[in-house]
Amino acid sequence: MTKVLITGGAGFIGSNFVFHMLENHPDYELVVVDLLTYAGNLETLKDVLDRPNVHFYKADIADREAIFELFENERPDTVVNFAAESHVDRSIEDPGIFLRSNIIGTQTLMDACRKYGIGRYHQVSTDEVYGDLPLDRPDLFFTEETPLHTSSPYSASKASADLLVQAYHRTYGLPVTISRCSNNYGPYHFPEKLIPLIISRALADESLPVYGTGENVRDWLYVRDHCTAIDRIIHDGRVGEVYNIGGHNERTNLQVVKTVLKELGKPESLITFVKDRAGHDMRYAIDPAKMMRELGWEPTTTFDEGIKKTVKWYLENEEWWKNIISGDYQQYYEKMYANR
């Protein structure tokens, strides 16, 4: 039986990946590791935690002792590292924890892989490592060869980890792969991020904060399409390679907000333009040709379908996100948006 260690499995993409693996590889054993920070929610995994092939550990990936002990006991064949501090705005407020979790955490996991042996270490990186593209050059896309050029403490920490993974492959021969995906959306997305923030606030008829002019472009991918791509890479991807993941689905932030409002039947008058994010990246756009050519992957959910599914999920799972926004998150929102 293959044993896959999934870090950050109680977060947005990690939990969707746990569900994907249980549905598509029911014979695998999954070791889920998560520190359960503000972004990790065990409630998300409640229906699968008591399965005999799911083992959950609350642990910090940057805690060497805890991680080495876990490897000693579990001896995974494959590691997929989702665990990270993931919100750009938080990294602007307080970069320190991003360096610890995203960089030292990655190093710690790879050191454990070196000590105990591993079939594959997969690093979930991001398209933000490439920096941004200008709005007036729609012909430009990020390819795997685009130089890394970061903007925020978050993206700098992810790029550092990405480079470290490449260094461990070249120096120590660690069997690694790296994926760099565009913006995800879908169920279990934490309501500090644009799409779930808009859904939850619009449902309460609250103002919708759009940074700057709302012209910034993001390239959106339904979360389950990201999961199928990572599944392909860990099984058939070439060791030492980087794979871009995306579906050519660029939208301005204003277009995204208006699409969500239309789906909810809420008025555009809720939109409020607020102070821009410092260092705000203008445009992300992934060229996913390598994934399609080498691994035969392509996304299956269009943006219109994905938004419909997502809005439906948030309507049917109010308890999940209302629990989040009624707690510490309330103070977060007041602090982060007070001076915008």
Contact set for ligand DAU, span 105-134 (CB under 6 A):
126-128
Instruction: Mark whether 127 is an active-site residue.
Output: yes
162's tokens: 């990405």
Q: List C-alpha distances in Å: 241 to 123, 236, 244.
A: 11, 11, 10
Tell me, what DSSP letter sits at residue 147?
A: P
Shortest CB 98 distance to ligand NAD, Å: 9
Instruction: Please report whether residue 197 would count as binding ligand DAU according to CB under 6 A.
Output: yes
Give the nearest distance from C-beta 320 to ligand NAD in angstroms.
13
User: What is the C-alpha R_g of the chain?
Assistant: 19
Residue 57 CB coordination number (10 Å):
18
Among the listed residues 68, 211, 320, 333, the single contact to ligand DAU using CB under 6 A: 211
Within residues 50-109, the interface with ligand NAD by CB under 6 A covers: 60-62, 82-86, 101, 105
Q: Does position 158 bind ligand NAD by CB under 6 A?
A: yes
What is the helix (H) or strand (E) element at residue 195, kind and residue range?
helix 194-203
Q: Which three-class secondary structure state does DSSP give residue 340?
A: coil
Residues shown for the chain = 340
The alpha carbon torsion through 222, 225, 227, 233 (nearest 10 deg) reads -140
Q: Which does 277 bind (CB under 5 to 8 A by kind): ligand DAU, ligand NAD, none?
A: ligand DAU
**Residue 90: what are its φ and ψ, rounded to 5°?**
-65, -35
Q: How far is it, in rounded angstroms, from Cα 36 to Cα 118?
A: 25
Question: Scanning residues 164 to 203, which ones bind ligand NAD (CB under 6 A)?
Answer: 181, 183-184, 190
Q: Which of 127, 162, 219, 231 is catalytic?
A: 127
State both tokens at 110.
Answer: 């790879």
304 catalytic residue (yes or no): no
Please list every residue from 112 through 141 that binds ligand NAD, using CB under 6 A: 124, 126
Which of these ranges, 7-15, 142-150, 290-298, 316-324, lies near ligand NAD under the rule CB under 6 A? 7-15
> In angstroms, what is the minimal distance from the CB of 99 to ligand NAD?
11
Locus of tokens 């590292």: 81
> What pairs with residue 125 in β-bridges?
180
In whole angstroms, give the CA distance from residue 48 to residue 43.
10
Residue span binding ligand DAU (CB under 6 A) among the ranges 31-39, 83-91, 260-268, 310-318:
83-91
Residue 36 near ligand NAD by CB under 6 A: yes
Find out whether 111 and 172 touch, Cβ atoms under 8 Å. no
Identified binder of ligand DAU from the candidate list 44, 157, 216, 301, rule CB under 6 A:
216
**36: partner contacted, choices ligand DAU, ligand NAD, none (Cβ within 5-8 A by kind):** ligand NAD
Residues that bind ligand DAU (CB under 6 A): 86-88, 126-128, 182-183, 193-194, 197, 209-211, 216, 218, 253, 277, 284
Active site residue ranges: 127-128, 154
